[in-house]
Amino acid sequence: MLKQEVRDMLVSIVGDDNLRDSQQDLIAYSYDATPNYQALPDAVIKPRNTKDVSEIVKVCNEYKIPIVPRGNATNLCAGTTPLEGGIVMIFTHMNQILELDEENLTVTVQPGIITLNMIEAVEAKGLFYPPDPSSMKISTIGGNINECSGGLRGLKYGVTRDYVIGLEFVMPNGDIVRTGGKLAKDVAGYDLTRLMVGSEGTLGIITEATLKLIPKPESKKTMLAMYNSLEAAGKTVSAIIANKIIPTTLEFLDQPTIQVVEDFAKIGLPTEVGAILLIEQDGPLEVVERDSNKIAEICEEGGAISVKIAETPEEGEALTTARRAALSALARLKPTTILEDATVPRSKIAEMVRAIEEIAERNNVRICTFGHAGDGNLHPTCMTDARDKEEMERVEKAFEEVFEKAIELGGTITGEHGVGVMKSPYLAWKIGETGVNAMLAIKQSFDPNNIMNPGKMFAKESRKRVVVQK
Amino acid sequence: MLKQEVRDMLVSIVGDDNLRDSQQDLIAYSYDATPNYQALPDAVIKPRNTKDVSEIVKVCNEYKIPIVPRGNATNLCAGTTPLEGGIVMIFTHMNQILELDEENLTVTVQPGIITLNMIEAVEAKGLFYPPDPSSMKISTIGGNINECSGGLRGLKYGVTRDYVIGLEFVMPNGDIVRTGGKLAKDVAGYDLTRLMVGSEGTLGIITEATLKLIPKPESKKTMLAMYNSLEAAGKTVSAIIANKIIPTTLEFLDQPTIQVVEDFAKIGLPTEVGAILLIEQDGPLEVVERDSNKIAEICEEGGAISVKIAETPEEGEALTTARRAALSALARLKPTTILEDATVPRSKIAEMVRAIEEIAERNNVRICTFGHAGDGNLHPTCMTDARDKEEMERVEKAFEEVFEKAIELGGTITGEHGVGVMKSPYLAWKIGETGVNAMLAIKQSFDPNNIMNPGKMFAKESRKRVVVQK
């Protein structure tokens, strides 16, 4: 519970309505989309503007009260659970599009806007914001920036980091900093903009963002290819790229995922196939046409059992059902679903998926794998039960081995979900002790009192398992 | 001069041949491409590998000896002059392509490789590294990364930052850190990769980089449009973008520049025109064709006096002569040429160029402006004489006013040249005192002894002129 003195100061900043600390409020903000990390905050606060944020932060910095900035908490790394109590800051009052600038191709927004709402406003003007995290119907742009969210279009268009060109944020001492702007080029000092992107709320609070837009692609074509083996599908992924084609989307489902999706969605998938690729290309009509035909050819040469190209947008939508249904289908099997995002160079996809299958078997846990084949970003997903302590230990061990294998193949522990609490013990595996030290130096210099989202990114104890260091 | 003890330690690391401190060596490394900042180092050192770099840095950190990492010193911000003495580190022994990976579309290089050499090796495989700083025939990739270099293709393809996906670097304490990899997605901790890009050698020494490549565009088309007025040219720039076309290159020359270029190159430019736009589009043949015709139409609708589309690549080359000759033509007029890179949102180009003309007139200095209209990155270039102290004061004042105007229009003090010494007094104008404090916090946490390129980026004294803070 907050001291009365502190509570009074916070209320005097935001008003009585915007500080909540009833038991039901505290419970509502005690968890995010990650299983097993629930913790109660001391209060929930709703700033109305940047000045409010700055004043709140100053109070919290003086009294060393943790602040957890939170969008809609769809993250999968336990990035927004208030593990050390303190206040959860939410941005329901700061959810506006401030400016959509068609001449400079930018949109300036407040952090609380729901990503899809912004995307729809942008597309209504014939413009395009490419990052499309699967959570975008619910997640906020502030959350996306803090996690550097990816999505299905990352292969061709990149991730959130590639579209944030200006920020306003509040430092842990209450200072307000503005970086970048409506500028394609800006090298005035260190790149604070990208430092804040993906910093998971541990360095400050983002209060405004200017995002780069591009013209909306004229057309899109969707296709689905089925393979007997994962290896053949993996080789096709490499062959498409080797043919100098970069599709917008290049997704895959492994055999166990296909089985589960068909059981759930009954869309007529042949459950005996070894892998499915979902491929989309967008751009000018003639290029999309040409690329799609070439991709279909490459799929067939690569041993696809069948290749379907959608003739209409509706058919295209239908083809994406299998991929879209994957998480829902998997989630219904067991009480707890743990969705990971170990990532490898794209040439290592098949090898990685095979390794995951072996790891699952060896540890006697059930893992299905699907994800973004084109950028090597896999989603090995474990169906388990968090109440079964013995099984959870095996799950933890299996994921440890998955991360180790990813690193061994030149990959990373997280492609798009972030580190949070969940992957903090493994951070040094990817970045080394020297890398963690460099990050901690930044953290300590920005936030000496460790008020900003404490307990995230940096683990109290790292797993000391020895891994191959390049 | 280095203490004998330190000299001996450094020689024991790199060998006698790789430490130079004769007078002629010191003079050769006392300056870069920026006029007026010459200073002698105490020694020049050539590490052979990352281990050498780490050991050198440890010695320098212990004895508090400045280190200036230097590519081929083409930078225009006095970023690589050894202002506080110490050692200049050069990378002639670390200039190899380590791996060109066609499956993952990456190239891994050492910092000393000349950018154009790398680009040619990449293009020989049908791949493409888009950043093309005008210095690329001489500059190194290590230098490009440290300055976050831009170029003529920034509008469509972005800048160096957008292509660096993995780094190895040596921290000021000698620690070796590896970030990223052959990964399209990686969010394991803070974005140290982009923090190092553009850090101007003040945070550590880059010893290896993995760069993202894309397929080489199939075709390219070049055109030149002439206008009676700058404003009409500026409106055309906005109209092209508003038509959802993003050309690869969208350059402009103002009237004074055209005059000087024609005097020098005698290529038949009509010297009475108000502005010239040079436009290039690349991509699939049919798209380039369609876009070029549409762009020509937009130019004509926008009041172009003439529009020439090159029929052949050779004709295309010829059309680019005017733009390419700009700096050489300007540089021959007076003993000293100062090339700046104030940058504004693209919608403000015409307004900014007019303001520069007024500022030049008011301060009685000669400034010609050309640059990258598409991304708002201007190169106001002053022809002067560094020996004329009184004129230099007026030049300094004029550029001060140029920076102030750029900031007022939502722009920045530097789009692609970096801060270095030259623009360090103005850094706070762009990023505010709070932003400078945040950057200094990072600097001090990485480099408490301030050995890495001291005197750069952060000025001892800032210009206190009051500017509009958003």
A186 to chain B: closest CA residue: B415
Residue A168 in this model has a pLDDT that exceeds 50: yes
CATH (domain of B242): 3.30.70.2190
Chosen for mutation from B128, B187, B238, B413 (greatest number of chain A CBs closer than 10 Å) is B187
pLDDT for the residue B288: 96
* Residue B438 sits at the chain A interface (C-beta within 8 Å): yes
Chosen for mutation from A99, A100, A187 (greatest number of chain B CBs closer than 10 Å) is A187
Chosen for mutation from A186, A197, A285, A351 (greatest number of chain B CBs closer than 10 Å) is A186
Work out the average pLDDT over A110-135: 97
Q: Do A187 and B216 touch (CB under 8 A)?
A: no
What is the three-class DSSP state of A108? strand
Identify whether the C-beta of residue A161 lies closer than 8 Å to the C-beta of residue A418: no
Does an H or E element contain B80, and which? none
Angle at B289 between CA B286 and CA B290, to 5 degrees: 85
A421 band by pLDDT with thresholds 50, 70 and 90: very high
Work out the average pLDDT over B51-77: 97
Ranges of H-type helices in B302-367: 313-324, 326-331, 349-362
* Burial class of residue B195 in the structure, from the number of CB atoms within 10 Å of its CB (0-12 exposed, 13-18 middle, 19+ buried): buried
- When computed from its CA atoms, the radius of gyration of chain A, rounded to whole angstroms, is 23
**Which of A175, A187, A245 comes nearest B198 by C-beta?**
A187
> What token pair was written down for B90?
């050069």
The C-alpha atoms of residue A141 and residue A121 are separated, in whole angstroms, by 13
Question: What is this model's ipTM?
Answer: 0.96
**Which phi and psi angles does A30 have, rounded to 5°?**
-95, -5
Separation of first and last alpha carbons in chain B: 47
pLDDT for the residue A14: 98
Give the closest-approach CA distance of A40 to chain B in angstroms: 25
Q: Write down which residue in A216, A247, A274 finishes a domain.
A: A216
Chosen for mutation from A177, A190, A238 (greatest number of chain B CBs closer than 10 Å) is A190
Give the closest-approach CA distance of A368 to chain B in angstroms: 21
Give the closest-approach CA distance of B21 to chain A in angstroms: 32
B291 and B341 belong to one structural domain = no
B289 band by pLDDT with thresholds 50, 70 and 90: very high
The C-alpha atoms of residue B117 and residue B97 are separated, in whole angstroms, by 9
Closest CA to B167 of B114, B218, B111: B111
Angle between helices A313-331 and A255-265 (to 10 degrees): 100
Domain-embedded: residue B429: no
Question: Residue type at B153?
Answer: R
B113-117, B291-295, B322-326, B418-422: the lowest-pLDDT one: B322-326
Domain-embedded: residue A464: no
* Residue B467 sits at the chain A interface (C-beta within 8 Å): no
**Which of B148, B284, B443 comes nearest A187 by C-beta?**
B148
Residue A464 in this model has a pLDDT that exceeds 70: no
What's the pLDDT tens digit per position in A304-338?
999 999 999 899 988 888 888 898 899 999 999 99
Residue A466 in this model has a pLDDT that exceeds 60: no
What's the pLDDT tens digit per position in B226-235?
999 989 999 9
B195 and B344 belong to one structural domain = no
* Residue A442 sits at the chain B interface (C-beta within 8 Å): yes
Q: DSSP secondary-structure letter at A412?
A: B
* Residue A89 sits at the chain B interface (C-beta within 8 Å): no
Q: Do B187 and A415 touch (CB under 8 A)?
A: yes
Closest CA to A199 of B185, B190, B187, B438: B190
A233 and A322 belong to one structural domain = yes
The C-alpha atoms of residue A155 and residue A349 are separated, in whole angstroms, by 14
Work out the average pLDDT over B149-174: 96
Residue A463 in this model has a pLDDT that exceeds 70: no
Q: Do B103 and A415 touch (CB under 8 A)?
A: no
Range of the domain at A186: 1-216
A203 and A224 belong to one structural domain = no
Those residues whose C-beta lies under 8 Å from the C-beta of residue B207, and which sit 6 or more positions away, are B49, B50, B53, B94, B110, B111, B168, B169, B170, B176
Q: Do A287 and B287 touch (CB under 8 A)?
A: yes
Question: Residue type at B300?
Answer: E
A468 band by pLDDT with thresholds 50, 70 and 90: very low
Residue B468 in this model has a pLDDT that exceeds 90: no
* Burial class of residue B348 in the structure, from the number of CB atoms within 10 Å of its CB (0-12 exposed, 13-18 middle, 19+ buried): buried
Domain-embedded: residue A435: no
Domain-embedded: residue A440: no
Closest CA to A202 of A451, A462, A424: A451
Q: Do B188 and A214 touch (CB under 8 A)?
A: no
A289 and A339 belong to one structural domain = yes
The C-alpha atoms of residue A251 and residue A265 are separated, in whole angstroms, by 18
A270 and A321 belong to one structural domain = yes
> What token pair was written down for A370?
């699907």
Task: Please spell the DSSP secondary structure of B155-181, one letter per residue.
Answer: HHH--GGGGEEEEEEE-TTS-EEEEE-
Give the closest-approach CA distance of B391 to chain A in angstroms: 27
**Which phi and psi angles does A97 have, rounded to 5°?**
-80, 120
Q: Do B187 and A417 touch (CB under 8 A)?
A: yes
What's the pLDDT tens digit per position in A31-69?
999 988 999 999 999 999 999 999 999 999 999 999 999
In the beta sheet, which residues pair with residue B60? none
CA dihedral A295, A300, A302, A306 (to 10 degrees): 110
In the beta sheet, which residues pair with residue B382? B338, B367
Separation of first and last alpha carbons in chain A: 47
B209 and B346 belong to one structural domain = no
Give the closest-approach CA distance of A318 to chain B in angstroms: 27
B75 and B154 belong to one structural domain = yes
Give the closest-approach CA distance of B247 to chain A in angstroms: 12
- When computed from its CA atoms, the radius of gyration of chain B, rounded to whole angstroms, is 23
**Which phi and psi angles does B159 have, rounded to 5°?**
-120, -175
A469 band by pLDDT with thresholds 50, 70 and 90: very low
Largest CA distance in chain A: 72
Domains: count for chain A: 2
Identify whether the C-beta of residue B249 lies closer than 8 Å to the C-beta of residue B279: yes
Domain-embedded: residue A430: no
pLDDT for the residue B467: 45
Q: Do B188 and A412 touch (CB under 8 A)?
A: yes
> What token pair was written down for A111?
């952090």
The answer for A 373-412 residues in CB contact with B (under 8 A) is 374-377, 410-412
Domain-embedded: residue B246: yes
Average pLDDT, chain B: 95
The C-alpha atoms of residue A29 and residue A56 are separated, in whole angstroms, by 18
Interface size between A and B, measured as CB pairs under 8 A = 279
Angle at A405 between CA A400 and CA A411, to 5 degrees: 110
Give the closest-approach CA distance of A20 to chain B in angstroms: 31
Identify whether the C-beta of residue B180 lies closer than 8 Å to the C-beta of residue A470: no
Work out the average pLDDT over A175-196: 97
Q: Which residues of B touch A188 (CB under 8 A)?
A: 412-414, 419, 423, 427, 430-431
**Which of B175, B183, B415 comes nearest A411 by C-beta?**
B183
Q: Which sign does the torsion angle of CA B7, B13, B16, B20 carry?
A: negative
B378 to chain A: closest CA residue: A185
Give the closest-approach CA distance of A84 to chain B in angstroms: 20
The C-alpha atoms of residue B106 and residue B182 are separated, in whole angstroms, by 7
Closest CA to A217 of A322, A304, A129, A302: A129
Q: Which residues of B touch A413 (CB under 8 A)?
A: 188
Domain-embedded: residue A451: no
Residue B294 in this model has a pLDDT that exceeds 60: yes
Q: Which residues of A touch B169 (CB under 8 A)?
A: none
> What token pair was written down for A244?
């100098």
A434 to chain B: closest CA residue: B177
Average pLDDT, chain A: 95
Residue B324 in this model has a pLDDT that exceeds 50: yes
Closest CA to B103 of A101, A255, A137, A235: A235
CATH (domain of A231): 3.40.462.40
A438 to chain B: closest CA residue: B446
pLDDT for the residue A68: 98
pLDDT for the residue B43: 98
Identify whether the C-beta of residue A369 lies closer than 8 Å to the C-beta of residue A257: yes
CATH (domain of B401): 3.30.70.2740
A4-32: buried (b, 16+ CB within 10 Å) or exposed (e) per residue?
A: eebbebbeebbeeebbbbeeeebeebbbb
Work out the average pLDDT over B35-62: 97
Q: Write down which residue in A408, A428, A455 finishes a domain.
A: A408
CATH (domain of A25): 3.30.465.10
Residue A462 in this model has a pLDDT that exceeds 90: no
Identify whether the C-beta of residue A186 lies closer than 8 Å to the C-beta of residue B427: no
B175 and B233 belong to one structural domain = no
Domain-embedded: residue B325: no
B469 band by pLDDT with thresholds 50, 70 and 90: very low
In the beta sheet, which residues pair with residue B253? B276, B370
pLDDT for the residue B462: 64
B364: left (phi over 0), alpha (psi -120 to 50) or beta: left
**Which of A376, A438, A446 comes nearest B184 by C-beta?**
A376
The C-alpha atoms of residue B348 and residue B238 are separated, in whole angstroms, by 10
Q: Do B104 and A345 touch (CB under 8 A)?
A: yes
* Residue B215 sits at the chain A interface (C-beta within 8 Å): yes
Residue A189 in this model has a pLDDT that exceeds 70: yes
What's the pLDDT tens digit per position in A81-96?
999 999 999 999 999 9
Identify whether the C-beta of residue B231 lies closer than 8 Å to the C-beta of residue B252: no
Chosen for mutation from B127, B185, B417 (greatest number of chain A CBs closer than 10 Å) is B185
Those residues whose C-beta lies under 8 Å from the C-beta of residue A56, and which sit 6 or more positions away, are A10, A13, A14, A45, A47, A67, A87, A89
A117 and A251 belong to one structural domain = no
Q: Write down which residue in B187, B216, B245 finishes a domain.
A: B216
Q: DSSP secondary-structure letter at B273?
A: -
What is the three-class DSSP state of B89? strand
B176 and B146 belong to one structural domain = yes
Task: Please spell the DSSP secondary structure of B282-293, one letter per residue.
Answer: EESHHHHHHHHH
A353 and A330 belong to one structural domain = yes
Q: Which residues of B touch A248 (CB under 8 A)?
A: none
List, edge to edge, every strand of the sheet that includes B164-170. Answer: B97-101, B106-109, B205-212, B164-170, B176-180
Identify whether the C-beta of residue A284 lies closer than 8 Å to the C-beta of residue B287: yes
Residue A461 in this model has a pLDDT that exceeds 80: no
pLDDT for the residue A467: 45
Q: Do B184 and A374 touch (CB under 8 A)?
A: yes
pLDDT for the residue B460: 78
